[in-house]
Amino acid sequence: MEQDRRAFLRAIGIGTAGGLAGCSALSGGETATPEESESDESTDPGTETPTDAPAATDTQAPTEAAPEASGGQTLVTVSGGGEDIWNSNDFGHFYYESLTGDFDVRTEVVSIQNTDTYAKGGLMVRASLDSGSRNVFMRKRPGDLPVSPQWRPKDGSSSASVTSDAGKELARNGGVFEGNWQRIERVGDTIRTYGSADGENWTLLLELGANTIELPDEVLVGLAVTSHDRASVCEGRFRNLDGFSPDRNNDIGGPIMSGDVSVVEDVPVVETGEVSDASATGATLRGDVTSLGAADSADLTFEYREIPDQEWSEAATTTVSESGEATVDASGLTPRRYYEYRVTIDNGEVTSTSPPGLFSTPGPGSGDAGGGPRSAAAIDPSDGFAEMASWLDDDTPVIVIDEPSVPKLKTAFNVNGPRVVAFETSGTFDLDQSHLAIPYDECWVAGQTAPSPGITLIRGGIQINGDDCVVQHVRARPGDVGLEETWQNDPIRTADGSENNVVDHCTATWSTDENLSVGYDTDGTTVTNCLVAEPLHDSIHPKGPHGYNSLIGNNAKNVTLAGNVWAFVTDRNPRLKQGTETAVVNNLIHHHSDGMWADPDTRHSIVGNVFEDPQSGKPNVFGQGEVAAEDNVQNDDADVPMIGDDVAQLDSRPLFPSELTPIASGETKAHNLENAGARPADRTDHDRRIVSNIRNGEGGVIDSQEEVGGYPDLAENTDEISVPDSGLRVWLREEAHAVEP
């Protein structure tokens, strides 16, 4: 096209048109994931410090409000950094204006960049620019996750949401909405939030009165974005702003990466459509043009990349002169892989890029990928209550991590679809004070596929938010270097409400909260053959000494804990909270102040466990629950009762996995020290040290990882993997067997 290239761009702050160059959110299904995990103990709500008017702390010059489009659409891009908008302080970027009295504001969220599972953006009303200000926030997270509200009721207090225990009772109509339109309405002292699929028909999600949150008459109303990643900014893209005209923007909370805003008028719009004719090596890509902007024609450029690659490959460019569908063919693809694709539209004046779409190529073979050897350990991960990856078949895509890159690993975890995450690299993944969430169902993280010495995550951990996931042969060691005192992180945790998850042959050490835990209200969780040791006792936890191993959250049902080692710890080995029902079988509990703690209204089968080197006189199993105890032994001459007086002892097991056959307690210690942890046939120095200390009666509770040598720096070895055309499960089982003794 021979058109005069004139970009109708209004830059706000330090914004640029580059902010429009395609967010990396992956599209997918409509599965909601749980809220950020909450502590098992209540958080101090803080002291209210009322603010009668918005704080006058602007550091950027006010600018004109976002204009109305004359031809196409007006697209607003807010780029925000920051750790989160949550808890008692917010970190992000805010594009806003001051409003007084009643208001009714609305917008459509085009996309939220996938910098982290908990990146978020949307409409916000807040009392001031202070990081701890009272606020109501309509958040949208990356991909197709629903819209849902959160709020901070008082200045400096913890936040609540419709998906957290602190606020779900206030939710209306379920509290979440699977659509991209948001609305916040204020009438008198009442704040209402809504979701919509079309911007016309609205569903009430939350109503807050003055008894819950009291906002001043003059408030700040606008669009807020946080990356949930201190090292990057997240682009949130919005259109169809209604009822407000932002004219200022500021960082909130002083994030390391400063944000900005850009506004572009007359934007041509193209969306990714459904991929068709996907074969093992090719697919037909589709773009749906909804607006050409202020032009008669536009060029469409289709690009794709294999996940988790960062570089795009161009498929083709075509010219369109009207709205509608355009297709191109992509060839030369790899079988059984996920691909991301996007479409850029250029009308000669303005260029914009669609949020990426997602598709996969089928495998070249056929079959259900059944079979494979059992674990080298006596206890197999399929022996618990959880069904181990029934979704896996020979068409399940494999995502290959070829370097110790946190962005690549995060991208793989964030794919919304069945996937196996395999490794062609060993090494240390530095999460830099973040949790690495698995937000979607049906993910198998296969650390066994990495070359020696495998993979270790430091300064963060894994949270399994999805259902039907498997995590094997991974080490996680958060520690406390460079971390803030308010930061709490478990090396490995299943999220509240999750179901049917398996954690097998993993190592979890150096937590600042608990090492390896099962979330509240979960069902069917299996934890087998794990090495859980050396939580940091007197470290950075805001409540002081807090060196704990494992917490099984309230009402967690059908939990299997078998073949694990819990060592060098004060408490929670494990703690079985109220309403839990577990089978705790053939575990070794070494050098502990408290052993197994059963809360009231709990039922457990505790079989074949070994306790040794207690550091207090408490019974090994104490509390007030109901317990069927069989073949549990004290492995030394410590004068410690096995079962506490307040524990109700049952004559038969209240629950037990049908496939699990316990070994004799006399074999438990030797078996577990041989088999527990990630890659026990290929242990790293820290795992060898821990196991050696247990065998030799050395070592103890630590306050910092620096006391035992500090963070590892593993060799980055590479070895190209060869995924078979068929027998995917057999291959994964064989790879695991190869690193087990």
Residues in CB range of 43: below 8 A, 6 or more apart: 87, 88, 158
What integer pLDDT is reported at residue 51 of this predicted model? 34
C-alpha distances out from residue 103 to 197, 214, 243, 253, 509, Å: 21, 15, 7, 26, 50
Does the pLDDT at position 41 exceed 60?
A: no
Confidence band of 553 (pLDDT split at 50, 70, 90): very high
Element (H, E) at 38: none
Q: Identify which has the larger pLDDT, 334 or 547.
A: 334
Q: What percent of the chain has pLDDT over 70?
A: 89
What integer pLDDT is reported at residue 25 of this predicted model? 31
Does the pLDDT at position 621 exceed 90?
A: yes
Distance CA 444, CA 502 (A): 9
Q: Where does 429-558 have alpha helices with state H? A: none
What integer pLDDT is reported at residue 387 of this predicted model? 97
Distance CA 451, CA 124 (A): 47
Which one of 50-64, 66-80, 92-106 scores highest in mean pLDDT?
Answer: 92-106
Confidence band of 166 (pLDDT split at 50, 70, 90): confident
What integer pLDDT is reported at residue 669 of this predicted model? 98
What integer pLDDT is reported at residue 116 of this predicted model? 82
Q: Are strands 283-291 and 269-272 parallel, antiparallel or unpaired?
A: antiparallel
What integer pLDDT is reported at residue 186 of this predicted model? 98
Residues 414, 417, 423, 427, Cα dihedral to 10°: 20
What integer pLDDT is reported at residue 14 of this predicted model? 22
Does the pLDDT at position 253 exceed 50?
A: yes
Does the pLDDT at position 133 exceed 90?
A: yes
What integer pLDDT is reported at residue 165 of this predicted model? 76
Report helix angle 665-675 to 685-696, nearest 10.
Answer: 150
What integer pLDDT is reported at residue 433 of this predicted model? 80
Distance CA 668, CA 450 (A): 28
What integer pLDDT is reported at residue 484 of this predicted model? 59
Does the pLDDT at position 391 exceed 80?
A: yes
What integer pLDDT is reported at residue 543 of this predicted model? 78
Does the pLDDT at position 76 exceed 80?
A: yes
Confidence band of 34 (pLDDT split at 50, 70, 90): very low
Parse the chain into domains and list their residue ranges.
Answer: 9-40+57-267, 269-360, 466-703
Confidence band of 59 (pLDDT split at 50, 70, 90): very low
Task: Indicate the class that CATH gives domain 9-40+57-267.
Answer: mainly beta
What integer pLDDT is reported at residue 72 of this predicted model? 64
Domain 269-360 fold is: Immunoglobulin-like (2.60.40)
What integer pLDDT is reported at residue 698 of this predicted model? 97
What pLDDT digit, counting tens, does each position of 442-485 carry?
999 999 999 999 999 999 999 999 999 999 999 999 998 765 55
Average model confidence (pLDDT) for the chain? 89
Dump the DSSP string for 149-212: EEEESSTTSPPEETTSTTTGGGBSTTS-BSSSEEEEEEETTEEEEEEESSSSSEEEEEEE-TTT
Distance CA 91, CA 233 (A): 11
DSSP-assigned beta bridge partners for residue 622:
597
Does the pLDDT at position 54 exceed 50?
A: no
What integer pLDDT is reported at residue 310 of this predicted model? 84
- One of 3.40.50.2020, 3.30.70.1140, 3.90.79.10, 2.160.20.10 is the CATH number of 466-703, namely 2.160.20.10
What integer pLDDT is reported at residue 367 of this predicted model? 59
